[in-house]
Amino acid sequence: MANANLFNAKTAKNDEFYTQYADIQKEINDYLDYDSNVFRGKTVLLPCDDPEWSNFTKFFAQNFELLGLKKIISTSYAPESKNYKIPYQPTLFETVQPYYSPDKTKTNGKIFILERDITGDNRINIDDLEWQYLEGDGDFRSKEIRQLRNEADIIVTNPPFSLFREFMAWVMEAEKQFIIIGNMNAITYKEIFPLIKENRIWLGNGFNHGNAYFRIEIQREYADGVYDENTNLVKFRNCCWFTNIDHGRRHQPLQLMTMAENFKHSKHKGVRGRKEYIHYENYDAIEVPFTDAIPSDYDGIMGVPISFLDKYCPEQFEIIGQTQGDSGKELGLTPFDRELKKLNPSLRDGQLYYMENGFPQKPFARILIRKKTVIK
């Protein structure tokens, strides 16, 4: 259902989903628990964030001194450039300024800066935000925002879903630190997966039980249980945080059972009662359909769900590859017997398959991993 949600968000190019303050706070706290100075002396850029809408700006502005920040730069996207128009009304915060422009408020982005005490109360907080219209519409790809990106140390935001690939490329090109919300399926993108494999990107702490709830401003048609009209929150099940900043959970190895223990005690019917794990027909690896069913005593390669990355500890496992797109062919997955395709027309060369009851089966998207060292 939530996948359908994200799909709809893409087809309608609806990028207007706003992150909740508590989710930002929970995520950032995890980096601080690991290194309390992670933001100290740093310039943070929030490049898709209008303070009147964005809790990212609120969070960093309210915690400016606590985090020891040097500067916050928050930029917003012009209402008229948005794919998905929201009825727009400038707020008092903007209209009281002598430089308020009824035209620019629609066609230009805005830049908000927090770096000094302007109210004279000897504190730097949200009341000290200064703003101006940008020259352009605030598109993160523009020269203007690119320059701000280059000035920043850390980029944090929930970017437009419809431009996620481009946004990540834009972040990586600048070689900055980042904490970015995205769709878990992005793990398998050809631009993203190699970075994950090389430990240049990993998943952050994540949302409560994997469910992310974003605020919307305009009600649309959603399936039952997806949208709550009392809170204006829409539920997404496959969102995660992508980052290159370290956090503690990343170094906690998974507590796993041996193969024999899994066959005896696994909570999954597909594992409990078996005598062995299924071996793929076209690659030397076993199929492990659940992360908590990874056997602790198998030294070979294992195909695991992509959600494994949420629990991935680089000291415990190494990532060998993935089997989406052309990656499988690069890994040397042997083509299958053409006769098998008659039995299962969804089979594709370059993807894993295994035999079950005489039928070729294709697993869901898999990441191939191997145990690194035994962690006691």
Ligand X SMILES: C[S@@+](CC[C@H](N)C(=O)[O-])C[C@H]1O[C@@H](n2cnc3c(N)ncnc32)[C@H](O)[C@@H]1O
Binding mask 120-149 for ligand X (x = CB under 6 A): ------------------xxx---------
Is position 82 an interface residue for ligand X (rule: CB under 6 A)? yes
Is residue 241 at the binding interface for ligand X, with CB under 6 A as the rule?
A: no
Is residue 170 a contact residue for ligand X (CB under 6 A)?
Answer: no
Q: Judged by CB under 6 A, which stretch of 66-74, 153-161, 170-178, 186-194 contacts ligand X?
A: 153-161
Sign of CA dihedral 271, 275, 280, 286: positive
**Between 15 and 287, whose beta carbon lies closer to ligand X?**
15
Closest distance to ligand X from the beta carbon of 63 (Å): 16
Q: Is 57 in the site for ligand X (CB under 6 A)?
A: no
Nearest approach, Cβ of 363 to ligand X (angstroms)? Answer: 31
How far, in Å, CA of 245 to CA of 239, rounded? Answer: 18
Shortest gap between Cβ of 321 and ligand X (angstroms)?
A: 30
Nearest approach in angstroms of CB 47 to ligand X is 6
d(Cα 234, Cα 219) in Å, to the nearest integer?
A: 10
48 counts as binding ligand X under rule CB under 6 A: yes
Size of the site for ligand X (CB under 6 A): 21
Q: In the complex with ligand X, which residue's Cβ is closer, 19 or 282?
A: 19
Identify residue 294 by its one-letter amino acid code. Answer: I
3-state secondary structure the chain: CHHHHHHHHHHCCCCCCECCHHHHHHHHHHHHHHCCCCCCCCEEEECCCCCCCCHHHHHHHHCHHHHCCCEEEEEECCHHHCCCCCCCCCCHHHHCCCCCCCCHHHHCCEEEEECCCCCCCCCCCHHHCEEEECCCCCCCCCHHHHHHHHHCCEEEECCCHHHHHHHHHHHHHCCCEEEEEEEHHHHHCCCCHHHHHCCCCEECCCCHHHCEEEECCCCCCCCCCCEECCCCEEEECCEEEEECCCCHHHHCCCCCCCHHHHHHHCCCCCCCCCCCCCECCCCCEEECCCHHHCCCCCCCEEEEEHHHHHHCCCCCEEEEEECCCCHHHHHCCCCCCHHHHHHCCCCCCCCCCEEECCEEECCCCEEEEEECCCCC
Of 80, 103, 105, 82, nearest in space to 92 by CA: 105
Span interacting with ligand X, options 156-164, 195-203, 258-266, 360-368, rule CB under 6 A: 156-164
User: Using the rule CB under 6 A, is 18 a contact of ligand X?
Assistant: yes
Q: Which residue is nearest to ligand X (CB)?
A: 158
Binder among 157, 183, 238, 351 for ligand X (CB under 6 A): 157
Least Cβ distance, residue 52 to ligand X (angstroms): 11
Task: Give the shortest CB-15-to-ligand X separation in angstroms.
Answer: 4
How many CB atoms lie under 10 A from the CB of residue 25? 13
Instruction: Work out whether 306 is an interface residue with ligand X (CB under 6 A).
Output: no
Contact call for residue 5 and ligand X (CB under 6 A): no
Closest to 315 measured CA to CA, from 239, 265, 238, 369: 369
Q: Which is nearer to ligand X, 159 or 295 (CB)?
A: 159
Stretch that binds ligand X, among 111-119, 152-160, 331-339, 342-350 (CB under 6 A): 152-160
Closest contact distance (angstroms) between CB of 167 and ligand X is: 8
| Per CB under 6 A, 51 contacts ligand X | no
Q: How far is the CB of 173 from ligand X (least distance, A)?
A: 15
In whole angstroms, the minimum distance from the beta carbon of 367 to ligand X comes to 26
* Cβ-based nearer residue to ligand X, 216 or 256: 216
Q: In angstroms, what is the minimal distance from the CB of 86 to ligand X? A: 9
- CB neighbours of residue 98 within 10 Å: 4
Note whether 15 binds ligand X by CB under 6 A: yes
19 touching ligand X, by CB under 6 A: yes
| Interacting residues with ligand X (CB under 6 A) | 15-19, 48-49, 54-56, 77, 82, 138-140, 157-161, 163
